[in-house]
Amino acid sequence: MIAAIFTRRDPTRLFAWCLVVVGLVIGSISVSYATYETTMHEEVWIQRELRSQNAARLRRVIRDIDLGVRPAGVIVSPWPGGLAGAGVMAFGVLLLAIRRPEKGKEGA
């Protein structure tokens, strides 16, 4: 299939397939990045609470960790990158769906 794209020398189809691949990459990287950044923000949050040396705050952190609860400011959402990737990929699919008129036929 890839060989057919390159041998046809149709730059629009090649560009469309590149958009589909780039959209998938953007979506995948955004999820990975959001997971990594959430982990980093969580570590900073825990270290900040430990440095406070306030017993009530430390008990709350331990309780939150046990419950799996984090402050909202710690969580990085993967949705913006995922939607951007889906948009790029959808544009590529749209370009692939557009049919070019044949050169031999005249439109009515």
pLDDT in tens, the chain (108 residues): 666 655 666 888 899 999 999 999 999 999 999 999 999 999 999 999 989 889 999 899 989 989 988 888 899 999 999 999 999 999 999 999 987 767 665 554
Enumerate the domain spans of the chain. Answer: 12-97
pTM: 0.73
Buried b (16+ CB within 10 A) or exposed e, 43-59: eebbeebeeeeeeeeee
Check: CB of residue 23 under 8 Å from CB of residue 89: yes
